[in-house]
Structure 1
Amino acid sequence: MKKYNVVIVGGGSTWTPGLLSSLSKKKNEFPLNKLVLFDINAERQAVIGEFAKIFFKENYPDLQFEYTTDKEVAYKDVDFVFCQMRTGGYKMRELDEKIPLKYGCVGQETCGAGGFAYGLRSIRDMIEMVNDVRASSKDAWIINYTNPAAIVAEALNRVFPNDKKILNICDQPVNLLRSYGRLLNMDPYEFEPVYFGLNHFGWFTHLYDKNGIDLVPVIKEMVYKNGFKPVDAEQRDQSWLDTYAMVEKMLIDYPEYLPNTYLQYYYYPEYKVSKQDPNFTRANEVMANREKRVFEECRRVVEAGTAAATNVVHNDAHGDMIVEVAESIAHNRNRQYIVIVENNGLISNIQDDAMVEVAALLGANGPRPMGVGKIDTFYKGMIEQQLAYEKLAVDAYFEKSYNKALKALTLNRTIVDGKKARKILDELIEANKGYWPELN
């Protein structure tokens, strides 16, 4: 069996140890020759990299492993690029969340004005990354799960419309499928989902078991009766438990389909603002909890010289999904995943050039997406408003247009007020100097 060369972009991420664990668990199904961690933050990555040396020595001794800040080393002769960059780090994420809250609007990493700010920061680095990879490894698969995936996917599709080896994907649908499995005490790998929407903005219309029985009605009744928790609830911070608990509320108000958890910010923006602490947002929670736990555990492993008793992995679904996606492509498995692709009639009554999120069979030639046909007025209206925001946000970046940026934020359901949009935009421009193009 062929062995593959993989690079993880964003090697200093707190999600990296979970991905390393998944690569180790899948070493027979997706064997590696070489793995490289690449990050521009040498100090941060070194903590993860030194942990990885010990982890692989014990769990994957024949693997060639290194970590680097040199992109020429990182991208040379690779088969797969796993991209999880965070331009600006947690310092900028904190501003993304806190600036909108000052004006009574949702402060969230990928939704609303925070997602807009993060998206405009991500575009430049993502384009540079693709160009750098293609200069060294023209046939490598780039599996991107950098947020906000909707804006990133739209931008990359404009710049690289003919590059069929860029795959944008998100782990939240997988997290939801695993959580349905926990609720039903069933194997989520046996589920056959029908899903439509945009990234962080979609719905499961059906969820079939291996006998073809639709489980959505059963899941609804169980959520109404017992509530809803993530599959890894015991490892999650409180904000994530609150997020999953909101699924019950969303199903009471909009009972047709099972919602992506991020829809809470668009359905109930005022309520979500009322529950957020403007002085201690999700970014602060991550830095105080997951960030601290992961780096402390990595340092402990390095000091001990063994990873035998480590408990550093957070959220198996994230790492497992990325490795399983690569395996499905590498071995032409044609397994089913929920991915981001150009619409082209998949949702037949919205525009063809939308970057939509749907179920697809994934093999050596990329995704073969499954259409859902027409959607009804409410969901069509929701999607078209969000889609217009996303396209205007990307327009604003490429055209350096203040007006397009203002229109984007005015349309976003977490704001929907031009005066607030202008105030937030002006403060975000100041905060993102050096990251955004200068808007005129």
Structure 2
Amino acid sequence: MKLAVVGGGSTYTPELIDGFARLRDTLPITELVLVDPAADRLDLVGGLARRIFAKLGHDGRITTTTDLDAAVEGADAVLLQLRVGGQAARNQDETWPLECGCVGQETTGAGGLAKALRTVPVVLDIAERVRRANPDAWIIDFTNPVGIVTRALLRAGHKAVGLCNVAIGFQRKFAKLLDVAPSEVHLDHVGLNHLTWETGVRLGGPDGEDVLPRLLAEHGDTIAADLHLPRPVVDRLGVVPSYYLRYYYAHDEVVEELRTKPSRAAEVAAMEKELLEMYGDPALDEKPALLGKRGGAFYSEAAVDLAASLLGGAGSAYQVVNTLNAGTLPFLPDDAVIETQAAVGPGGAVPLPVAPVDPLYAGLIANVTAYEDLALDAALRGGRERVFKALLAHPLVGQYAYAEQLTDRLIAHNREHLAWA
């Protein structure tokens, strides 16, 4: 079994390698190719990756290359974890929206749109090259904004599934609070990527007992603290929102916070520099503790589980993924991409039935889906007017004066990445 990781020079990659090594019975990889245009980073990450495999007794072969076509040739699955423009572009996404009084964040709002515009054309080019190399290969997208990128891939006819670590993070946290194995926790997870709610927490499977009320009653303070939301807000909702919902539920508060501290991109850039120095140490043969602060917790477990299921291996039958709505949420178009529990196998991901969604959440889901329609149109066809309309439609922007200012700033900061600008 051959897997290729596009963006293999990322400091995330040792987390993925650790999962591949530990879970080799679930996903028996024989060849792993890390591909990245940054050869210097590849050398450091690739060296550590081989040492991790050796320490944990995995006999798979790890190679590195800057040649995408060579990397994906004959690959059974290709994982996408790229960042067009690097941390420098992310830093811009997180700062210029604040100048207009809007949230600066790399996956949602104006910053998220900028990332989508930079990313979608690059990902589609990669996907076409994967299809030429092996039309049966699965593409697993971890590249943000996952919902929009996955929708672009599916619209173009690629075999693709989107993946995010939010759900598996909740699963692990709830399992710990309940003192059960993570495999025993099944989430009623509904919404869009980075716009989701846990409306039920079931033990044993989709039809198991819903223990969410007990979780909120006994551990509400802990859950609310993790979300950075007041406990009474979580109690009134009666569900567990993704921590990304704070950008919506406490927008102005978050803007003021972001204005008073360094951007997350600046923090990550400093962390990445330190991590790369560590990766260059020939004595290091495990992922360093610092990587846990980098983000992407449990990414490796989720990626292994998904790849194994898609390739006919021992992955879980049910997983939270980003895939076509296909009637699951009746208030959305069939070709919208939702994030939900799905039955996953070699034929792809089929969403499980979802109970009727409370209008409190359905309205926001529909609104952001409409924004994603416009965002994808802007990413595919370009043009200032399309960018403006996408921003005007986003609930974190929503005012024409803000949309005008943000459009100008977005284009100015991303001109080198926008072929039409």
Q: TM-score, normalised by structure 2?
A: 0.93
State the partner residue of 2:278. Answer: 297
Matched-pair contact (CA < 8 Å) for 2:169–2:297: no
- 2:37 matched to 1:40? yes
**Superposition deviation, residue 293 in structure 1:** 4.1
In 2, Cα distance between equivalents of 1:407 and 1:309: 43
Matched-pair contact (CA < 8 Å) for 1:96–1:115: yes
Q: Secondary structure at the match of 1:139?
A: coil
In 2, Cα distance between equivalents of 1:182 and 1:94: 34
State the partner residue of 2:123. Answer: 126
Matched residue type, 1:187: A
- 2:201 matched to 1:207? yes
Matched-pair contact (CA < 8 Å) for 1:251–1:257: yes
Matched-pair contact (CA < 8 Å) for 1:346–1:373: no
The Cα offsets for residues 200-242 of structure 1, whole Å up to 9 and x where unpaired, read as 111111111128221110121234344456xxxxxxxxxxx6x
State the partner residue of 1:407. Answer: 389
Give runs of aligned pairs for residues 17-32 of structure 1, distance below 5 A.
Answer: 17-32=14-29
State the partner residue of 1:81. Answer: 78
Give runs of aligned pairs for residues 26-425 of structure 1, distance below 5 A.
Answer: 26-60=23-57, 62-160=59-157, 163=158, 165-210=159-204, 212-228=208-224, 244-246=227-229, 248=231, 250-252=233-235, 254-277=236-259, 280-289=262-271, 291-300=272-281, 302=282, 304=283, 306-307=284-285, 311=289, 313-314=291-292, 316-331=297-312, 333=314, 335-425=317-407
Matched residue type, 1:430: A
User: Comparing 175-184 with 220-229, which one deviates more in the overlay?
Assistant: 220-229
Matched residue type, 2:218: M
In 2, Cα distance between equivalents of 1:175 and 1:108: 20
Matched-pair contact (CA < 8 Å) for 2:342–2:349: yes
Matched-pair contact (CA < 8 Å) for 1:102–1:278: no
The Cα offsets for residues 103-125 of structure 1, whole Å up to 9 and x where unpaired, read as 11101110111100001111011
Matched-pair contact (CA < 8 Å) for 1:332–1:362: no
In 2, Cα distance between equivalents of 1:284 and 1:60: 36
Structure-2 change in CA distance of 1:156 and 1:310 (3 Å): closer
**Superposition deviation, residue 371 in structure 1:** 2.2
Q: Secondary structure at the match of 1:246?
A: coil
Q: Structure 2: state its 5+ residue gaps.
A: none
Q: Secondary structure at the match of 1:32?
A: coil
**Superposition deviation, residue 332 in structure 1:** 5.1
Structure-2 change in CA distance of 1:187 and 1:166 (3 Å): same
In 1, Cα distance between equivalents of 2:200 and 2:384: 41
Note the aligned Cα RMSD (angstroms): 2.1
User: Comparing 347-356 with 82-91, which one deviates more in the overlay?
Assistant: 347-356
State the partner residue of 1:235. Answer: none
Matched-pair contact (CA < 8 Å) for 1:97–1:281: yes
**Superposition deviation, residue 249 in structure 1:** 5.9
In 2, Cα distance between equivalents of 1:425 and 1:220: 41
Structure-2 change in CA distance of 1:251 and 1:309 (3 Å): closer
Matched-pair contact (CA < 8 Å) for 1:346–1:372: yes
User: Comparing 406-415 with 56-65, which one deviates more in the overlay?
Assistant: 56-65
In 2, Cα distance between equivalents of 1:182 and 1:247: 22
Structure-2 change in CA distance of 1:208 and 1:366 (3 Å): same
Structure-2 change in CA distance of 1:316 and 1:227 (3 Å): closer
State the partner residue of 2:3. Answer: 6
**Superposition deviation, residue 316 in structure 1:** 5.0
**Superposition deviation, residue 176 in structure 1:** 1.4
The Cα offsets for residues 261-304 of structure 1, whole Å up to 9 and x where unpaired, read as 11111222111101113661111121223x2442232122x2x3
In 1, Cα distance between equivalents of 2:35 and 2:232: 41
Matched-pair contact (CA < 8 Å) for 1:100–1:424: yes
Structure-2 change in CA distance of 1:423 and 1:70 (3 Å): same
State the partner residue of 1:234. Answer: none
Q: Secondary structure at the match of 1:432?
A: helix
Matched-pair contact (CA < 8 Å) for 1:119–1:152: yes
**Superposition deviation, residue 29 in structure 1:** 2.5
User: Comparing 367-376 with 144-153, which one deviates more in the overlay?
Assistant: 367-376
Q: Secondary structure at the match of 1:386?
A: helix
Matched residue type, 1:71: L
Identity level (%): 31
Matched residue type, 2:252: E
**Superposition deviation, residue 362 in structure 1:** 0.9
In 2, Cα distance between equivalents of 1:325 and 1:400: 33
Structure-2 change in CA distance of 1:226 and 1:154 (3 Å): closer
Matched residue type, 1:318: Y
**Superposition deviation, residue 96 in structure 1:** 0.4
In 2, Cα distance between equivalents of 1:202 and 1:309: 30
**Superposition deviation, residue 127 in structure 1:** 0.2
Matched-pair contact (CA < 8 Å) for 1:80–1:141: yes
Matched residue type, 2:132: A
